[in-house]
Chain A
Amino acid sequence: MKLTLNGKSKEIMDSSTLAAVVRDHCQNPEHVVAELNGSIIGRALWENTVLKENDRLELVSFVGGG
């Protein structure tokens, strides 16, 4: 199924969990923050959050900045 990940269209397996998507795309999941359709999803809920078609997912983490 298709969804938007960090602004890009991505094809992922149906019924993927948020946790799975994070594992597949992030080297250091421990510092990643997830925002699904505008709401922050707490880490504890990732395993139980099933993604749907056309979801907008943002995965952010720290980078250098002033």
Chain B
Amino acid sequence: MHFDLANIQDILSNQDPRLTERLAQEAARITRQYFGRAISLYAPLYISNYCSCFCTYCGFNNHNHIPRLKLTADQIEQEMQKIAQSGIENILILTGESYQMTPLSYLKETVLISKKYFSSTALEIHPLEEEEYRELYLAGADSVTLYQETYNRSRYAEVHLAGKKKDYDFRYQAPERIARAGFRQISLGILLGISDLAEDLFALFSHLRHMEQTFPGVEYSLSFPRLRQIKGKDLSLSRIDDISFIKTICLARISFPRIGINLSTRESPTLRDHAIELGVTRISAGSNTSVGGYSTADPERQNPQFDIADSRSVPEMLRMLKDRRFDPVLTDWRRIDNT
């Protein structure tokens, strides 16, 4: 079932709670049919907050005066050990967008370490060239996450004021480079709160359709990070309310029955616990969004990319999932060498 822009606009602006409920019921039905009650768990690991870009909505932007950190190989290994101890098998490695401070060699080294501790390594990093992506894939990375943030070109230019990120097309075309490099999993997304939601949702769906048709062998997932507060400061540009957020997840599930839908700890426990009933299939647990945050005990010394709303640990998440009759999946594959 594919929605055009007018459908999406109608659905989002419709105030009737019964419509919301119908969407949710359909999304829930489809999710149960294609995923059963399996929910995958992952943890994010920020290894560097150096950034050469100025994105007006992000805590890491290069105009923000925060202590800049980049973990050494030993420190990365230490963070990974801590995360692995909690049982997590899927790791998402994140960096700010700095080609200089976190070059390919650094990323490759990180992936090689990650292979020792995790079944699956995902990367959320600055857009690269196809050859660079291929090196990371052959080193053992399995998945790349890359959000266009907004598909509205003029809005994109308004919020991305410096650095390579200003290049809309380089970013837009990156998923194709990622697929050609051999990656079998790609995650796309938009940042809710930057631009018109209906338009961005429609554009995101179109982008995903295009990728599905061009690279049908890749597994896709979607994320809908909602701009939130950072250390109490609200950096969002417009409010996307919970109802619209839930409708967004439902629309994604109904439009694409088999794709994964991720939900980070930007969202509250209540919302997350409900969202897994109607479309979300991958959630983070025990998260820390500061560089070196897993090993650093003192919260005052941390500078997160976003404030965490759901601080439940991995055991707490597993318990919640089991109580709600979900089937928590820490890993659903075993490593083989990427060729």
Direct contact of A and B (CB under 8 A): no
B residues at A contact (CB < 8 Å):
none
